[in-house]
Amino acid sequence: MSFARLVLATRNADKVREIRGIFDLRNGELKSLLDYPHFPDIEETGGTLEANALIKAREGFRMTGTPCLADDTGLEVDALGGAPGVYSSRYAGETATYAENVRKILSVMKDVPEGKRKARFRCVLALKAEGREEWVEGVCEGVILPEPRGAGGFGYDPVFFVPELGKTLAEMSLDEKNAISHRGRAFRGMAEALRKNPV
């Protein structure tokens, strides 16, 4: 990996665990805001995934002085006009749990028939370093099931079914999920960008 140290602008331990499984960390150090407990939380005030990712990457860089990566991820459901989108993590309220968000989306979609439940996860990953700012995107297509399946993953993973593998994200091993997930694709794209142009 072509960096000495990067900071992930997140305190989501589940997200950090997934990302560590994607990056080759033999030659670089990957930290997160969990390593900087005295720093304030970064408010996501953007109206798009791209805007929020850049806000977090810029603020993380400003606070730490270290090249910073930040992602914003949204679940986009066709039958809901692309919702919950940028509000995915707080769909059932500002302090909603994963389970509460899942319950809400299943409730909202209870009358949506099987053939109309197409959805996708989009992950926008931004990098901010001295004199450099860029972003990449990863997408994972799937279907929202009418009830949860699987005990792994986090967030909407138990109801997000990937037809090509015949499993929900929550039924996959971490390696399986990272191979096809929106976050895995975005971070592999950024890893390639860092190989070509190190920070």
User: What band does 1 get if pLDDT is binned at 50, 70 and 90?
Assistant: very low
H helices, E strands: number in the chain: 5, 8
Residue indicated by tokens 């990302």? 19
18-73 pLDDT, tens digit each = 888 777 666 678 899 999 999 998 988 899 999 999 999 999 999 999 999 999 99
127-183 pLDDT, tens digit each = 999 999 999 999 999 999 999 999 998 999 999 999 999 999 999 998 899 899 999
**Options 72, 78, 111, 175, the catalytic residue:** 72
What values do phi and psi take at 114, rounded to 5?
Answer: -55, -45
Instruction: Tell me how crowded residue 36 is: count the other CB atoms within 10 A of its CB.
Output: 16
Residue ranges covered by each domain of the chain: 5-196
38-52 pLDDT, tens digit each = 999 898 889 999 999
Distance CA 129, CA 144 (A): 37
**Which residues are CB-neighbours of 137 under 8 A, at least 6 positions away?**
122, 123, 124, 125, 186, 189
The reported pLDDT for the residue numbered 25 is: 62
Q: Nearest 5°: CA angle at 21, between 20 and 26?
A: 65
Mean pLDDT of the chain: 92
The reported pLDDT for the residue numbered 84 is: 97
Active site (annotated) includes residue 157? no
CATH for the stretch 5-196: 3.90.950.10
DSSP string covering 142-187, please?
EEE-SS---SSS-TTGGGEEETTTTEEGGGS-HHHHHHHSHHHHHH
pTM over 0.75: yes
